Amino acid sequence: MSNDTRAVVRHERGRVAQQGISGEIRRLQKTHALLIAIQFASNHDAEFDVSDALAAIIGAIEESLRALDKIALEAAR
């Protein structure tokens, strides 16, 4: 593989990784907004099951971590 080809492949991997990371940042921002909404509702004595809401947040964070790990592994190839 020529140096030019390697540079193109490296650039493409970087672009794909950057897009993936941007997507996960957006997902984590939405998760953060959900956490703020739960905090707001709790502060205003809303009646809801906090454990279900927190389980959803934990699941979303775990999903983002798996996706970021996958992005990092693919970028390192």
Average confidence (pLDDT) over 47-70: 92
pLDDT-based confidence at 75, cuts 50/70/90? confident
Burial 48-60 (b: 16+ CB within 10 A, else e): eeeeebeeeeeeb
Question: CA 60 to CA 30: how far, in whole Å?
Answer: 9
Q: What is the structure's pLDDT at 56? A: 92
Q: How far is CA 33 from CA 29, 39, 63, in A?
A: 6, 10, 16
pLDDT-based confidence at 19, cuts 50/70/90? very high
Q: What pTM was estimated for this model as a whole?
A: 0.78
Classify burial at 20, counting beta carbons within 10 Å of its beta carbon; exposed 0-12, middle 13-18, buried 19 or more: middle
pLDDT for residue 1 is more than 80: no
For 42-54, the pLDDT digits (tens) are: 899 888 888 888 9
Domain extents for the chain? Answer: 3-76
